[in-house]
Amino acid sequence: YLGAARFGDRLEVQTTHQAEGPVRWVFDQNVLRDGKVIFRAKVTAVCMTTAGKPTRLPAKLRLSDEDPAA
């Protein structure tokens, strides 16, 4: 947290892909108001089965052409 945002503020979210593994992606995010970063985050996203277990990223969702398990 680096600054406040209020209802009605126009915010910009910048997302950068940092890493990809067999079951996850990692992204860095910056939230800006008036061109100034007010929040930074590291986001990890995981594919899950309907049973709630992590599962391999489907080929169509991978950000790279390489198989991360190879």
pLDDT, tens digit, 9 for 90 and up, residues 18-67: 998 999 999 999 999 999 999 999 999 999 999 999 999 888 878 766 55
**Per the confidence metrics, is the pTM higher than 0.75?**
no
Amino acid sitting at position 54: P
What is the residue range of 21's domain? 11-58
Place of tokens 């995010």: 29
Would 39 be classed as within a structural domain? yes
Q: What is the mean pLDDT of residues 1-22?
A: 94
Query: What are the distances in angstroms from CA 40 to CA 12, 14, 20, 30, 31?
Result: 12, 10, 20, 5, 6
Would 4 be classed as within a structural domain? no
Would 19 be classed as within a structural domain? yes
Would 24 be classed as within a structural domain? yes
> What b-and-e string marks burial along 43-59, b requiring 16 or more CB atoms within 10 Å of the CB?
eeeeeeeeeeeeeebee
Q: Domain total for the chain?
A: 1
